[in-house]
Amino acid sequence: MEAMNLNIPVLALRGLTVFPHMTMTFDVERRISIRALERAMEGDQEIFLVTQREIGTETPEEKDLYAVGTISHITQILRLSKTSVRVMVEGRRRARLRRLWQTEPFLQANVEELEEPAQSEAFQRSPRTEALLRQTWNLFSEYAELAGSIPEEVVTTVMDGRDVGYLADFITQNIALRYDDKQEILEELAPFIRLRKLNGFLARECNVLGFEHEMEGKVRDQLARTQRDQILRTQIRVLQNELGEGEEGDDELDAYRQKIQALELDEDTTKHLLKEVTKLSKQPFGSAESAVIRNYLDVCLEIPWNTYTKERVSVDAARKVLEKDHYGLEKVKERILETIAVRQMNPEGKGQIICLVGPPGVGKTSIAISVAKALNRKLARLSLGGVRDEADIRGHRKTYIGSMPGRIIEAISSSGSMNPLLLLDEIDKMGNDYRGDPAAALLEVLDSEQNHSFRDHFLEIPVDLSKVMFITTANTTETIPRPLLDRMELIQISSYTDEEKVQIARRHLLPKQMEEHGLKKGSVRISDDVLRAVIRDYTRESGVRLLERRLAAICRKADMRMLSDGVKRITVTENDLPKLLDCQPYPPALHTEKEEIGVVNGLAWTEAGGEILEVEVNVMEGTGKLELTGNLGDVMKESAQAALSCLRSRAAVLGIPADFYKTKDIHVHFPEGAVPKDGPSAGIAMATAMLSALNDRKIKAGIAMTGEITLRGRVLPIGGLKEKSMAAKRNGIGTVLIPKDNVRDLEDIDQTVRAALRFVPVGTVDEVFAAALCPEAVQEEVAGCVAAFAPLPREKSGDAALRQ
């Protein structure tokens, strides 16, 4: 009879083999396999089951599959979850994979059914067949006895079986063979040869199981000998004690008991530790368990139980320390002093949990160190950056090899007191993986209502953390889990102003670098104007780390000149900076000094402080396309769309053609295209630039703006006004347009910046256009026509301006 070819869905099995006339249940999770099952259920419920050559292959191709499989009928499907189903199949007949012609969205192949050679009645009753069956029955009986896990019904079916081919398939399906061995049985079409191969595998498995039983017996004998040795060693210790030779061990146990009693801990803790000592006394000589118990007792006794340092809660003393160590940061210092004042009024109060949040280099860690110095508390610093294991916080169970307590307990032990100041640095840099979430372990530590009985996994006894003062630092709160953030009181540390940086450089950084570079006081003279030039042209940061490196570079060059030229004193001028610090990485901006069309100075906030963000707009003849370039985020793109819609709704009032959105292409570009930009605060800047380009009106020189725009032309408040205003002053801007709702934020801006800038609060885009656009219209010949637009109303002096 001619073999039949079928186009059929394929399910690739990993480590499984299905035989004809057998029923099997297995779970399916791969997307392509689930879709193959769904495809089969839509048809005649038949599917081709074939085994993969390598279990780890996720998306198998034809070369990854065996050639022979089983055409099976799906009898039942049970969905376990969204990504997993359990399927019951019944094998029908063998088939050969001719071509796998589809791999997506599921496997589908052209297969050829394989017919087994027919067995005559005489062949089935021949002595040769009877001998093969008897050999199979004997080997299977031996295997079932050694394995011990073969169901009784399987044994019964095998002993009653007379069909050579079916018996080979049935035994192979129900014993633990490697999947490649099962595949070899499946691929063999001749029943007699198939059963003979199976007998070879059964004989091998019987030998393997015999060796396993032999090794288990040896292990049991070894354990019995070990227990016998322990019993004998215990008897020896008893005899030594009777003879007075076991005093050394007793002295160690007595020392442990005396130390525990001297700690005067609560009753439960004392009882727990004494129980561990008793357990140690019962351990056989040299056992591993005794070393674990000794290590546990040593760690517990190293903790400074009931040891507290005398706290110096003096607001005046703390103010002196903070003023000496830090310049500026007035609000932060005031908040720290308020905390100390509360401690002075209520010494028995619970420990405070403070989180200092600010950009890098503004002094978060050094503030915490100064607080510890002011309070006369021991300081322990834990860097949490990159911590991903919960056991780093809570410790490991003492039963593990190499176990140790968590970082909190280690920090308290190293500090030597139960009321230290623990500095948890970079709390926003913690991660998590399969070993747990360390942030979740900190929830109990940083909760004054719970941490009076903190339990470390290693100690297993409560430790009182209520007297500990916690200070955490972070660059941002976005990556801190909300429950953890809720347990801390946030203190925001903003960027330093340029004047504050000058004072910090003068008082702290320059003397420190001169000392580190071996320069005597007065040997290098740098005026405040030169420091301002270094800050303005050679640094771009919120803190002072880069500024310190620039000063270190000047000191190195001074060392070289003193050694090579023999000079005793060096005075650094602004003209010397290019030679000392190479070229200016941040040259002064030129776009603030002239009036231009379609170019507006926006203000942006970054982690390094404020920046001037130019907006350029070009208008060309076209079909009304709006092109946005400059590596913009989704929010900024939507803000540009809102600005365009606002202009379209006011076209008649603004003096621009009503159909400009049909006849003009508008291209909005933000320079420095490699830098990602996002946020809504450039809305009024984009609207102003678009209007300027549409009616050819210049933007006033020395003006910058920030504010979110709405479709109705309202100007909404923004964040980061302090940093943005500092950027405006640094770049020579004279006038800054801000939303009216941000006027309240002017109190937080440095007096020097407020005096140097003219702040114009605006509530609508009409006020923005009146303040930003030049009153004269520019007449320009375009395509043979002269287009002149009426000027906007002049800005009334004193109405929209707020000079600080």
Supply the residues annotated as catalytic: 681, 724
Secondary structure (3-state) at 195: helix
Q: Cα angle vertex 479, ends 473, 485, to 5°?
A: 60
Could you tell me which residues are beta bridge partners of residue 113? 95
Alpha-carbon distance 10 to 287, whole Å?
58
Around Cβ 534, how many Cβ atoms within 10 Å? 25
Alpha-carbon distance 238 to 279, whole Å?
16
Secondary structure (3-state) at 524: strand
The owner of tokens 């020097």 is 752
The number of helices, as runs of H, and strands, as runs of E, in the chain is: 29, 29
State how far the alpha carbon of 643 is from the alpha carbons of 93, 142, 170, 638, in Å: 70, 85, 75, 9
Edge to edge, the sheet with strand 421-425 lists 379-383, 421-425, 469-474, 353-357, 489-492
Alpha-carbon distance 165 to 119, whole Å?
9
Structure token digits, residue 136:
């199979």
Alpha-carbon distance 762 to 474, whole Å?
34
- The closest of 480, 723, 732, 706 to 594, measured between CA atoms, is 732
State how far the alpha carbon of 102 is from the alpha carbons of 9, 43, 155, 344, 647, in Å: 9, 17, 42, 78, 54
- Contact call for residues 721 and 745 (beta carbons, < 8 A): yes
Secondary structure (3-state) at 2: coil
Alpha-carbon distance 504 to 27, whole Å?
67
Alpha-carbon distance 264 to 273, whole Å?
12
Helix (H) or strand (E) holding 231: helix 191-243
- Residue 145: φ, ψ to 5°: -70, -40
Secondary structure (3-state) at 244: coil
First-to-last C-alpha distance (Å) of the chain: 101
Alpha-carbon distance 72 to 10, whole Å?
10
Question: Is 701 buried (19+), middle (13-18) or exposed (0-12) by CB count in 10 A?
Answer: middle
Q: Cα angle vertex 70, ends 66, 75, to 5°?
A: 135
State how far the alpha carbon of 288 is from the alpha carbons of 227, 247, 402, in Å: 14, 21, 12
The owner of tokens 């292409």 is 665
CA 225 to chain centre: 52
Secondary structure (3-state) at 398: coil
Alpha-carbon distance 600 to 612, whole Å?
10
Alpha-carbon distance 91 to 362, whole Å?
71
